[in-house]
Amino acid sequence: MKVWAAGITAGTVALLVGGALAVAATQNATTLAPGLRIAGTDVSGMTREQALAAVGSRAATPPQVTVTAGKNTWTLSAEKLGWHVDAQTSVDAALKITQERGVLQKLQGMIGQAPTQDIPLTAAVDPAKARTTLTTLTAGLNTAPKNAFTVTLGGTARKGGLTALQVADLYWVRDSGIEPDEKTLKAAFGRLTDAIDQPALNARYVLQGGKLVKAKEKAGLVTDRAAAYALFRKAVLDPAVKTVVFPSKADQPTLTIDRLPAADKLQLIAVGKSTYYGSSAARRTNVANAASKINGAVVPSGEVFSFLNTLGGIDASNGFVGGLIISGGRTVDGLGGGVCQVSTTVFRALYQAGLPVVERNQHSYRVGYYEPQVGFEAAVYDPGLDLKLKNDTTAPILIKANNDNARSTLTVEVWGVKPQRTVTVSPAVITARVPHPAPRYVVNTALRPGVVRQVDWAADGYSLYITRTIKDAKGVRTDKVSTVYKAWQAVYETGPRG
């Protein structure tokens, strides 16, 4: 009997253990492991669907939430802010625990000794519902801040103002007393004068009955900046002063109607073209808006054309909408994406006309919209980056912009008294090329786990230049426009790991 019993201990028991290990190793992971609970509900041995049904039927009491905005406070059920039980996340967590259990834990479950593990019931919030509720609660608070300081342009009813917060930003509070912030003061003064000034309008051409006709100039009224700034600086830092009248002065036009050539005497000097296939609706809106504002611009002889001044600013009040722009080393959503399509086309026309370049800025990387004329482009950004060329012809020039949205084509023409010169612009000469770096991955918690979204695109770096040759009575001269494009990295946003 002892010999038989020993055989059972040494052989059969080992065989049983080995078999158990094999069974444990191949245990079905589609059902939840023994000992698992979700918020006290036993989900052992259940499939995912069964566990969802068991947990989803539990009634969870939403917590009370206090919302504070300014001096107002509301207490309400979190359910009104989109709070709800997220049984799916809790069950998925239980499945993950099941899949990650080792052989020993599986054996414990087989013999009824699995440890109990209770997983909390996860809650989630519907952002849209929360936003709707909060918007309703705070509807009475969403009013524009009242101006704490108001200015008026002398001789007009035009007004501008600063809020209390904007006024407070104009100075520092030191131990020694109030210290004006000169840089911020000048910036605020500039914004106010931009808002209230009425600059002169030069004589120009306007469409009338399908034909270009002359339109008379008009004098304006603007801030006498030297006198007004001293007044502003003193008044805005005095708590007792709430309003001030800026002294004004006449602003005379620099181009009068008698100096405008007759429209039918104008000659075509140069043409610039570009295409924008594949542009979004927002980008197309901005291209059309910018083109309409540039169309009809007149630059007097000897004066400098400024793209931003002609455009009138890139902001929502001027009709621009959100679109992709290059900012901070990334391609991001921003106001006015697509305006550079127009600045690039204007640059091509004016450069081809032979006008001297005063200011031209390039894009950070090679942009497909400006192909195939690589490097023959101009970036603008408001404020800071402008496109400026000087009218060195003997007469005013007219800039005409024709946008064909259906064909994704933009054409800019330069009209005037054609100078006696020929202008040739060479294709780009590429002197160096740098391969783009490996892509970068950035976690975006707003994305679902496993989701990958590309938000920036790779582009090789280039060093290049284009050459312009001008032949006239003075001889032959050349100039260059050099461009150094950065090697651009593709960027992907990924959802958080599960």
Lowest mean pLDDT, pick from 30-39, 166-175, 420-429: 30-39
What is the structure's pLDDT at 410? 95
pLDDT digit string, tens, across residues 432-442:
999 988 888 88
Q: Residue 320's pLDDT band (boundaries 50, 70, 90)?
A: confident
Structure tokens at 211: 């034909």
Lowest mean pLDDT, pick from 11-20, 420-429, 460-469: 11-20
Q: Residue 7's pLDDT band (boundaries 50, 70, 90)?
A: very low
Q: Residue 143's pLDDT band (boundaries 50, 70, 90)?
A: low
What is the structure's pLDDT at 423? 95
How many other β-carbons are positioned within 10 Å of the β-carbon of residue 407? 10
What is the structure's pLDDT at 9? 47
**131-144: b (≥16 Cβ within 10 Å) or e:** eebbeebeeeeeee
pLDDT digit string, tens, across residues 210-257:
777 888 889 999 999 999 999 998 888 888 889 999 999 999 998 888
What is the structure's pLDDT at 59? 57
pLDDT digit string, tens, across residues 384-405:
789 999 999 988 999 999 999 9
Q: Residue 412's pLDDT band (boundaries 50, 70, 90)?
A: very high
pLDDT digit string, tens, across residues 244-284:
999 999 999 988 888 888 888 889 999 999 998 888 888 89
Distance CA 459, CA 337 (A): 19
Average pLDDT, the chain: 82
Q: Residue 5's pLDDT band (boundaries 50, 70, 90)?
A: very low
Domains parsed from the chain with CATH numbers: 18-140 (no CATH), 147-257 (3.10.20.800), 261-494 (no CATH)
Q: Is the pLDDT of residue 112 over 50?
A: yes
- Work out the average pLDDT over 98-115: 72
- Which residue in 354, 349, 360 sits closest to 470, CA to CA? 354
8 to 5, 146, 356: CA distances (angstroms):
5, 92, 102
Q: Residue 333's pLDDT band (boundaries 50, 70, 90)?
A: low
Lowest mean pLDDT, pick from 72-76, 300-304, 313-317: 313-317
Q: Residue 142's pLDDT band (boundaries 50, 70, 90)?
A: low
- Which residue in 148, 130, 127 sits closest to 138, CA to CA? 130
172 to 139, 177, 182, 188, 394: CA distances (angstroms):
34, 8, 10, 15, 52
